Amino acid sequence: MKLAIIGNLNKPGLQDAVAKLVRSLEGGKGDYVIDEHIAGLLLRAGVHVPDQRLRSRDQCVREGDLLVAFGGDGTILAAARAVGSRGIPILGVNLGKLGFLAELSPDEFPAVTADLMAGKFRVEERLVLEATSPALPKGPIYAVNDIVVDKSRSSRLIDVHTHIDGAFAVTYRGDGLIVSTPTGSTGYALSNNGPIVIPTCGVIGITPISPHTLNGRPIIVPDTSRIRIVVESTSGEALLSADGQEEALVNPPLEVFIARAPFPIRVVKRGDRSYFDVLRAKLFWGADARTV
């Protein structure tokens, strides 16, 4: 098992967190490669990484049997985008705030290192969305959390005509629309009153952004569905984005097709930690302020 170590260079505490993992790997002679830029930070902190371990970020993604990504959920989303269809499991180490995807704490090294090297971990497959549109000349875009279309910089409402498997469903009038995976249900969709969905459910969420009518409600459809949305706007532009990391400004009328991608991402999870444990810890789910 070869670990490939990458991370967000702008995250405070990165070098200390990675140093804990590297020390435990060197002590047990674990096999790993590391992003050369992170190794440079470690060297300045007095931790030397042998030259034969150094790689570019892209080389780490290509060579590793398991990708260890230090940062927040945004770092994991970027790592998933880099991995694409290769199927390399991703372990997130949380240096951010919430950390639904990056749920491992740096303090859990070196205790978990031996389990990682021995392959003693659980892998969950997570749904990925694929969006295609004539407005995307470079081809499809992919999202682990969500595909979002919104009104961009305009203050005017947009109309989003939504079709499911060829049948017209509803027109949402508001600031836009979020099409989310179960993984993304605790992201932007949740802030717009979308439901929390267990990550392993085979569904896709459709959530309006600030709907102009009280009957504009979120819906859940099977992950086998093909969703067609047509956007009309008088403002002259709309924003199409994937995970908030890949964006395109387009001129309505805009037609977008969204469906399950032909590949999932694979996320490494601790065997002794359930999704409900994460919800309670991250969202204070079920907590009663009267008893805290």
In this predicted structure, the answer to whether residue 291 has a pLDDT above a threshold of 70 is no
Q: Which two tokens stand for residue 242?
A: 């994937």
Task: Judge contact between 190 and 158, C-beta under 8 A.
Answer: no
Domain boundaries, the chain: 2-126+264-283, 129-260
Neighbour count for residue 119 (Cβ, 10 Å):
11
Q: pLDDT by residue (tens digit) across 249-282?
A: 888 888 999 999 999 999 998 767 788 888 887 7
Residue among 35, 73, 146, 243 flagged as catalytic: 73
Note if 16 is an active site residue. Answer: no
Q: pLDDT by residue (tens digit) across 83-124?
A: 988 999 999 998 877 677 877 888 887 778 878 777 778 899
CATH fold of the domain at 129-260: Tumour Suppressor Smad4 (2.60.200)
| CA 68 remoteness from chain centre | 14
Task: Provide the percentage of residues in the chain whose pLDDT is more than 70.
Answer: 96
The length of the chain, given as a count of residues: 292
CATH number of the 2-126+264-283 domain = 3.40.50.10330
Which is more confident, 103 or 227? 227
Q: Which two tokens stand for residue 38?
A: 């992170």
Which is more confident, 112 or 145? 145
CB-count burial class (<10 Å; 0-12, 13-18, 19+) for 267: buried
Which is more confident, 51 or 214? 51
In this predicted structure, the answer to whether residue 234 has a pLDDT above a threshold of 80 is no
Task: Judge contact between 35 and 55, C-beta under 8 A.
Answer: yes
Residue 111 neighbours by CB under 8 Å, 6+ apart: none
pLDDT at site 205: 98
